[in-house]
Homo-oligomer: A and B are copies of this chain.
Amino acid sequence: MAKSVKHILKQELEIKVGGKLWLESEGERFFGPGPMELLEKIEETGSISNAARAMNMSYKKAWELINHLNTQTNFPVVVPQAGGEKGGGSTLTAEAIELIEYYKALRKRFKTFLENETERLKI
A residues sitting closer than 8 Å to B (CB atoms) are: 2-5, 7-10, 13-26, 29, 72-75, 77, 95, 98-99, 101-102, 105-106, 109-110, 113, 117
Contact = CB atoms under 8 A, between A and B. Distances in A.
Contacts of A109: 117
**Oligomer: number of copies:** 2
A57 to B, nearest CB: 21
Contact of A102 (B3, B13, B22): B3
A16 B109 CA distance: 16
A17 B113 CA distance: 15
A98 B5 CA distance: 7
A74 B2 CA distance: 21
A66 to B, nearest CB: 15
Given A8-B74, A99-B5, A22 B18 contact: yes
Contacts of A4: 102
